[in-house]
């Protein structure tokens, strides 16, 4: 096996391709939450596709065809760079910076300084690096932009987006993305990336019109709780794939158990996760175990289509360890569904200041708690720059300090759901993996 490496071909800011407003935009209460001030890193893997062949020119259209042919011969990096410049005209806040003129109230300065962009080339095929399956055969730092202060004199937590396009010798490419959680949640970041894809495919404007709208987002008079203490945990990384047939079977079992009620594949995989993890770690008698994930509340708060800020709310489930360990997956799905049902009222109570000043986003990170992030329906898997949709799209790393899990769409050609788990120590890893893989067919 050779040494796989990535060479940067060009790097620097990509600015909007036309004039944009110069203003300072407020962030919403959730955007300003201290834990959201940072860059989320992800990789989006695109297989090689044949270059389209053009029909011979006719009726004096040779010049137009020549221009189209030249466009088709551009590298993926050049295509994305050009579309990014156009997308930033519509999503111009991404070309700005976070400033904090008022302590504790960060805002976005729309300065048109641009998004840091890198075009790079790898010396191998995607197959050589196993299509970036874990463990990564290319280091994370080779796939996403990490500019020095000399090249990018902006603190990472004040930058709003950075993008790298790495082309492989097979013709496939990877988009390495870093977006600031303070300006967009996962759905919002995917919306922005889809806008780049729309323009890369030649559409005159993004299919979804961006809405800033932070001034109409609830701003309850609630002070965020203190930042949580992180435990010292050495967590093992384990991946699981749930075939569509397995998920459909349990959906049918849940419907039969409840007299026709529906559940999602997400409900099933996190119920199985919570059950198997609880059985594997064997909490102390009488201890409670907790499950937490974040749900979009765009529908609850009646936000306009196109809103791309943080519109998430925690869904928390807590129960005695004995109950979770002793319940079937179907019974635990019911517990998850009930917590989801309560979420809308909990969110409105927070938004309207009716919850006694309690911060629902306050978390406790201990070994009895597991946190889930759902990437399966954010929209990253739909981004098409003219080369088709990605075979895989998800976070580059999982946190190795907090017991956490990522749920994402299984990479093509697999059908189903993938779960990336970093939630048990080495002591419990084998038992946890054995239980999780039981009955997966």
User: What is the rounded distance in angstroms from the CA atom of residue 102 to the CA atom of residue 32?
Assistant: 12
The two three-digit tokens of residue 175, written as one number: 């988009």
Q: Is 181 a catalytic residue?
A: yes
- Give me the helix-helix angle, 329-351 and 265-281, nearest 10°: 110
Torsion over CA of 241, 315, 158 and 167, rounded to 10 degrees?
20
The two three-digit tokens of residue 418, written as one number: 């993938």
User: What is the rounded distance in angstroms from the CA atom of residue 10 to the CA atom of residue 165?
Assistant: 10
- Give me the helix-helix angle, 426-437 and 265-281, nearest 10°: 140
- Give the three-state DSSP class for 395: strand
User: What is the rounded distance in angstroms from the CA atom of residue 104 to the CA atom of residue 123?
Assistant: 45
H/E stretch holding 178: strand 173-180
Q: Are 48 and 172 in contact (CB under 8 A)?
A: yes
Catalytic residue among 86, 181, 198, 428: 181
For 136, counting Cβ atoms within 10 Å of its Cβ (0-12 exposed, 13-18 middle, 19+ buried), the class is: middle
Q: Is 384 a catalytic residue?
A: yes
Beta pairing, strands 312-320 & 288-296: antiparallel
Catalytic residue among 65, 219, 359, 384: 384
Torsion over CA of 300, 301, 307 and 312, rounded to 10 degrees?
-60
Q: Are 196 and 189 in contact (CB under 8 A)?
A: no
Residues designated catalytic: 181, 384
């Amino acid at each position: 096996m050779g040494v796989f490496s990535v060479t940067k071909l060009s790097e620097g800011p990509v600015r909007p391709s036309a004039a944009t407003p110069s203003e300072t935009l407020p962030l919403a209460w959730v955007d300003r939450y201290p834990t959201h001030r940072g860059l989320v890193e992800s990789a989006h893997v695109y297989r090689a596709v044949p270059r389209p062949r053009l029909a011979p020119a006719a009726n004096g259209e040779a010049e137009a065809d020549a221009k189209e042919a030249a466009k088709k011969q551009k590298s993926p990096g050049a295509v994305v760079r050009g579309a990014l410049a156009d997308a930033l005209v519509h999503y111009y806040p991404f070309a700005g910076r976070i400033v904090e003129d008022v302590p504790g109230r960060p805002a976005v300065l729309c300065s048109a300084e641009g998004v840091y962009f890198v075009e790079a080339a790898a010396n191998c095929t995607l197959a050589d690096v196993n299509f970036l399956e874990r463990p990564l055969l290319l280091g994370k730092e080779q796939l996403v932009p990490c500019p020095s202060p000399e090249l990018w004199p902006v603190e990472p937590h004040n930058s709003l987006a950075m993008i790298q396009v790495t082309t492989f010798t097979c013709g496939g490419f990877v988009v390495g993305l870093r977006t600031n959680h303070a300006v967009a949640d996962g759905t919002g970041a995917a919306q922005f990336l889809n806008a780049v894809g729309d323009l890369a495919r030649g559409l005159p404007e993004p299919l979804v019109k961006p809405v800033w709208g932070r001034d109409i987002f609830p701003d309850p008079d609630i002070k965020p709780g203190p930042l949580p203490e992180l435990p010292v945990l050495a967590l093992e990384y384990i991946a699981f794939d749930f075939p569509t047939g397995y998920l459909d079977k349990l959906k049918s079992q849940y419907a039969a158990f409840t007299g026709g009620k529906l559940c999602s594949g997400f409900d099933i995989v996190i119920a199985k996760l919570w059950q198997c993890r609880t059985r594997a770690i064997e909490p102390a008698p009488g201890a409670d175990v907790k499950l937490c994930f974040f749900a979009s509340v765009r529908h609850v708060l009646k936000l306009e289509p196109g809103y791309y800020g943080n519109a998430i709310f925690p869904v928390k489930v807590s129960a005695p360890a004995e109950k979770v360990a002793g319940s079937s997956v179907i019974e635990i799905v019911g517990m998850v569904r009930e917590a989801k049902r309560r979420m809308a009222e909990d969110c409105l109570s927070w938004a309207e200041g009716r919850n006694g000043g309690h911060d629902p986003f306050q978390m406790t990170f201990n070994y009895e708690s597991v946190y889930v992030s759902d990437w399966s329906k954010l929209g990253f898997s739909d981004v098409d720059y003219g080369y088709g949709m990605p075979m895989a799209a998800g976070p580059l790393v999982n946190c190795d300090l907090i017991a956490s899990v990522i749920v994402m769409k299984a990479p093509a050609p697999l059908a189903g759901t993938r779960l990336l788990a970093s939630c048990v120590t080495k002591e419990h890893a084998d038992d946890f993996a054995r239980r999780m893989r039981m009955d997966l067919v």
